[in-house]
Amino acid sequence: DICTLVGCGVVGDSERKIITHIVASSGKIKEGVFELFDYLQSEGMDVYLATGDNPCSVYPLARRLGIVDNFVFPQVDPDGKKKIISDLKKTYEQVIMVGDDINDKGAFEEADVSFLILENEAKRKNELKTIVNYTISEPLEIKNILKRFSV
């Protein structure tokens, strides 16, 4: 079933009671992401996903990455991301935030360690570079940095 593998929505004609269109999307998972997640999980790190994206696309992606559903927060605004980080800090000794755009600013500021991924043209990325601990171009760089510091 394609809808369990990718984000999916349907458009229907309510008068005729038929589905007229199926819309599916799936972002490409960047090289090294599976290796990074395997490493994080092997080190006993809990991985959470907070995003502004739609649940229909977020949950299938999270499952592919091995993130359990109750650690997934779809349709979160920037203030919500910051609050999630704040709440996680009450449970965990150290909270790491990884993001790629200005909507992650508050969460970057709240986190103990923060990584800005520069793969996308982030809005106001120079502003973000001044508040994060690390700027990276590839997700796998996170693994190498964490190994160096035994975070």
Residue 69 lies in a domain: yes
Radius of gyration of the chain (CA): 17
Q: Domain limits at 66?
A: 28-149
pTM: 0.78
Residue 8 lies in a domain: no
Q: What is the CATH number of the domain that holds 69?
A: 3.40.50.1000
Residue 89 lies in a domain: yes
Residue 7 lies in a domain: no
Per-residue pLDDT tens over the stretch 39-97: 999 999 999 999 998 888 889 989 999 999 999 999 999 999 999 999 999 999 999 99
Residue 61 lies in a domain: yes
Provide the Cα torsion 100, 102, 108, 109; round to 10°: 160
Q: Quick one: pLDDT band at residue 127, thresholds 50, 70, 90? A: confident
Number of structural domains the chain divides into:
1
Residue 18 lies in a domain: no
Residues paired with 98 in a beta bridge: 115
Q: Quick one: pLDDT band at residue 21, thresholds 50, 70, 90? A: low
Residue 15 lies in a domain: no
Q: Quick one: pLDDT band at residue 2, thresholds 50, 70, 90? A: very low
